[in-house]
Each structure stands twice: as structure tokens, then as C-alpha cells.
Amino acid sequence: MVAEKPSVARDIAQVVGAQTRAAGWLHGNGYVVTWAIGHLVGLAQPHEINPEWKAWRAESLPMLPEQWPLSVLESTKQQFGIVKKLIQVGNVEYVVCATDAGREGELIFRLIYEAAGCRKPVRRLWISSLTPAAIKAGLLAMKDGRTYDSLAAAARGRMQADWLVGMNLSRAYTILQGETVSVGRVQTPTLAMLVERELTIRDFVPETYFEVVGTFGKTPYLGTWFKAGETPSSESKRLPADGELARAIVDRVERVGKGIVQSVTQEQRRIPPPLLYDLTELQRHANRLWGFSAKRTLEVAQELYESKKLLSYPRTDSRHLSSDVAATLPQVVQAIRGPYETQLDEGTFHRKLGRRYVGDAKVTDHHAIIPTTTDPAQVSLTRDEQRLYDLVCRRLLMAWFEDHLTAVTTVITTVTSNTVTSTAIVSQPAASPTADSLVDHFHTTGTTVIQAGWKVLDIPSRKKEGDEDEPNLPSGLVKDAPQPVRKVVMEEKQTRPPNRFNDATLLTAMETAGKSLDDKELSRAMKDCGLGTPATRAAIIETLITREYIVRDGKALQATDKGIRLIAAVHPEVKTP
């Protein structure tokens, strides 16, 4: 049995009864359990394929291998030797691929198996949890390794594409630029998005504008002026930078001194409980709440999966559960419900989850991230581990809660004044009740929670700079009710550049990259995958930082001059998704 890491090998060995330790492996009860340490084998370097490719010369490009020889990695050569020897032993009947159940895990095993020259039958252990019960169930359900040939072929194709793009284009642009650069199939389009945003910010010239805000009513409420005949929006509320129009509005509204409620409308909004976490959504949420990098979230989730046995497999791109996993939820809920008991309705969890959460066709290699049945009270957790585990527990429990219901009330208050001859005033579009009057419109919204629903378990996100509190509307606001003008002011504001990407927003951009491509066929092919995979996106971000193409400034990710130079140099097809 070949696991991906020593810790996973020990868990499997415990279940199968392989208790005798040796250097690099365990054995007993008819089983031999060994491990990789991530990748033990990779594609050969250019000079190992063709000695003429050792020198970086333009005339040797493109390098297009006819065959793809493998190379044992120097750093893990000793462990490869152990694995190779064990799987070739005469009394070994078959080999179990027990690497991580996914594309990358499949590739790790296949490369070892091929480099070792092994021809023995292969069985595949495919599990989404490392609890003893999950491992036992997986052992009983092992399939012929050939069942996963398509997955292995996809992994191999991705690896070869990375080699072709990385090796050829890194050399080409290093020669052209006169400095060593790294170009990658995924990292360069990702960098291009960061560079485009950085250049937009650098070129941005803030524009001054004004808004007019009135305070109305005996119980005060605020309203913002907007252009008559238009829908209230940031654009329709914006007034010219010279301030003349804003001052004219303030003057006439102050002069009239009273307004009237033109309309009061209420819209009920219903937000269902969110879907369960896949890795990308978990990384986004942890970044928004605590500023975790994508890498940090993956590290903590992996620890909760491998060592603490509290989470299912984290490197998943599914937000749904298979029907057989859904059948185990009562035991999961029983294990995790303790800290949330006061917020739970006792009868809720007897109801089966519906198609929003459960669907065999919607589950890819792995189901959504959920807690396991391991008792968390028996496990010691760090602060970050506790935070992330709590987040996953809350997200699962939310699935049984009612929708979050709010009522959004919109009030339009008008102030009617006599027409005057000021050019500034006459130039305003007027929705006048009479020919010689002018109507100014003010927009107010307020939100009332009707039913908290799943939000009782939600952890509020930290407010962003510039976020304003939702105003509280006084009761008794009805159509045609007169409202005194208490105050009216002009507020000077400036347009802002777009925000720099952070881990959360960059993960979203990578996930959705390609959906707006002009090439419709390519856009359809990318719509469900984007740039990279949930398992690799964190590493891509960290690689860009390591190679000094971007820097992390607090939560923000900022392209460097080095990164900008590279994107300016590469061909458009290299930097687009």
C-alpha cells in the first residue's frame, strides 16, 4: 500500500494491522504500508532528455520531446528506492494506490509505479476521510486501478502542458528580456490579472463630485438627492465638481423647508442557507473573516483532515454531498452540535437535506468539506484550527435552518419649489406637478430583519473601510405624509480606484477566469474550472510572491515592477486564460 504521506500511511497501517516499523515502511498482518513524500518522481529536465537542450539558446526552441522520460527527484531519492524495492518483492500480490483521492494523488502514484518498472495489479483506495471507519469502508470498496486511467491521463496531460509552456516560454522570454523570468501556464495569466489591476490603480485620477443629503422628519431620517426621472444610484446622485448645482439644490430646499413622502415601497428578500464549502469558498471566507492567506487556510484544513481527523478531504471542488454521505449526517451532527445547542431547534436535524445540498451527479472526486464523526472534545486544537473547524461546523448546521428574511423599505421624499431663473436650476430635469414648480427627489432605504433563520449561526464579516451603517427608518412613514426639512448639506466626495486583489477576490477571479472569453467554445470548456484547481491556486499565489512578481501588503496583493515588465513582454495568448 502506497500512501502520499507518512502520517496517512500510519493511519492506514493502524487499521490493517501493520504494526511493525521499519525504515520507510510498516508491515504486519499480511500488509506492507509505505509512503511517498509528495512527489518522488517528475518529468525529466530538458538536458536529461536531450543534451543539446542544456544551454539556453533561441535556436533550440521550441523543445518538443517525442518521449516523456521520468526522473527521480534527488531530495526524495532514498524513499523512492524503498518504495520501489517493496512493490517489486515477489510475495507482494498487488499494489494499493492509497495516495490522496484526486488527480494529483493519482499522478503521484502512477509516476512512482512507472519509474519503478512495476507491472503488478493495482487496486485503488478512494476515501474522503481518515477516520478508522472511513478507511475500513474504503478498503472494502476498493476498485481496479484501471478504473482511474482517465483521471491519470488528465493529470499527465496537465503535467506535460506545464512542462511545455514553462520550459519553452521561460527560456524564450529570459533570452528576450535579458533577465531570468518564469512563465507558467497558470501563473502568468494569474499575474496578468494582478498587473492589469495595478496599472488601473496607478493610472487612476480621482474626480471630485458632490452629493446633497437632506435630513427630514420629526424623527430624523436621511435622504440623498438624485436626478428626477432616473433610478436612484451612485451615478444619478452625483453632482458636478464645481458645486454650483449642489449649492442651488441646498438653497432651494432650505428655502422651502418642507417635503412630502412621495412613495414608500417594501420588498421582501429571501436568502437561503449557503451551500457547503469547497476549498475555494473556505479560503475566501477565512480571508474575509481573519485575513488568512489561501495557503494558510489549506494548511490548517489539511491538518484538521490528516492529523486531527475532524474534517473530510479538503482539496475538493464540490459543494454538494453524495446520498451515501448524506445518510451519515445524523452521526456527524451528534458529534458537533454541543457548542451550538442553544441556537438549534431539536427537531430540525430529523429532516433530510434536499437537492440543494445532496446530489450524486454534482459530486466530483470528493464531496463538500464537512466535519467527521470524531469527537472534537477529545482533540487539542490551535486557535486557527479551532476557527476553521468552527466555520465548517456552522456551515453544515446552517443547511437545516430557515431562510434569512428581510424587508427592504425604500422611501422617496420630494421637495417642491417655485421655478427660478437661475441657469443652474433651469438646467435640471423637472418632474413638476405644475408648470412653474420644480421637484427635488431624495432617496432613503432601510432594512428590517423579519426572520434571522440561518444567520443566527453566521459569523459577521469585518466591515470594509468606507462601509456605512444601514440607516434606521422611523415608523409611520406613509405616502403623502408631510416632512419638515431639518437640515440639508452638500458633501464633497471623490471617486475611488478599484481595490487591489486580496486572496479572496483573486481566488474568485481565478475560479471564474475564461467565462467571458470571445472564443465561445473555449469559454464553455473553462466555465467550470477557471485557472488552476482548488488544490493548486494557493500554491500559484505563493509562487508569484516567491518569484517577486507580486508582494503581499497586509491583505492586498500588489504586482511589482518586475511582474509588470514580464506581462508587458509576453504575447497576449500567453497571459490570457
Q: Which residues pair with 399 in a beta bridge?
A: none
With both helix axes pointing from N to C terminus, report the angle between 383-398 and 279-290 in degrees, rounded to the nearest 10: 120
- Read off the C-alpha cell for 538: 494557493
> Does the active-site annotation cover 221?
no
Catalytic residue among 148, 313, 357, 389: 313
**Neighbour tally for 99: CB within 10 Å:** 24
The alpha carbon of residue 362 and the mean position of all alpha carbons in its chain are separated, in whole angstroms, by 18
Q: Identify the bridge partners of residue 279 per DSSP, sorted by sequence position.
A: none
- Distance separating alpha carbons of residues 467 and 464, to the nearest angstrom: 6
Q: Which three cell numbers stand for residue 3?
A: 500512501
Phi, psi of 45 (to 5 degrees): -75, 160
Looking at residue 376, the DSSP 8-state letter turns out to be G
Which residues on adjacent β-strands are paired with residue 379?
none
What span, in angstroms and rounded, lies between the C-alpha atoms of 136 and 133?
5
Smallest CA-to-CA distance from 312 within 360, 370, 363 is with 370
H or E, element range at 553:
strand 550-553
DSSP helix/strand/coil, 272: coil
Residue 457, C-alpha cell as written in the block: 449561526
- Contact between 190 and 506 (Cβ < 8 Å): yes
Catalytic residues: 313
